[in-house]
Amino acid sequence: MNGGNSKSLLPLVEILISIGIFAIAVILTLQLFLLAKFLGNKTSDTAKAIFEVQNVAETIKIMKTDAEIEDYIKNELNGGDLYFDENWEKTTDGETNAVYNLKIDMKIDDTYNSGNLYKFKLDLYKLDAYPFIDDKKVEKNKDYIPELVSINANKFIINK
């Protein structure tokens, strides 16, 4: 009778092993779907960030005078520190409702006799890291902020 009892447990063990393997496969598949979702979000954010940064850079490029550039950065770009909400709308309340931050660093090279060379560095960041995306920089720096896009631009203004 003991031999017959152990044979009846064999199908039960096989079912438990099958359920375990299936559970592992389901967990791995769910992780892949979540990773794909957040990678899609990051790609979408990067495309929108490129648009916003390019828009600012092109606006600066069409300006003709020092005063126009300085006025644009001071008034339109909040002094070079611009915030966006989750819908990519500009926010005026700083980091409170912001999801993205555009930082504009401007340096003036006035060593030229005929004018000034403006050097711009435009960086657009997401204020919080993306979940499920294994970014090696996060391991090195706990305060790491994901950079979506960064460009350097120059504009030479001729003295009149």
Q: For the chain, give the mean pLDDT.
A: 83
Task: Look up residue 105 and give its two tokens.
Answer: 């660093």
Band (pLDDT 50/70/90 cuts) for residue 15 is very high
C-alpha 114/C-alpha 160 separation (Å) is 8
Band (pLDDT 50/70/90 cuts) for residue 1 is very low
Whole-angstrom CA distances from 67 to 45, 54, 77 are: 32, 21, 14
**Among all chains, which residue has been given the structure tokens 């995306």?**
133
pLDDT tens-digit series, residues 18-44: 999 999 999 999 988 888 888 888 889
Mean pLDDT of 78-93: 87
The per-residue pLDDT for 153 is: 84
Mean pLDDT of 51-61: 90
Which candidate, 79, 84, 80, places its Cα nearest to that of 95? Answer: 84
| pLDDT of residue 138 exceeding 60 | no
The per-residue pLDDT for 11 is: 85
The per-residue pLDDT for 18 is: 94
The per-residue pLDDT for 29 is: 92
| pLDDT of residue 49 exceeding 70 | yes
Band (pLDDT 50/70/90 cuts) for residue 99 is confident
Helix (H, G, I), strand (E, B) or coil at 127: coil
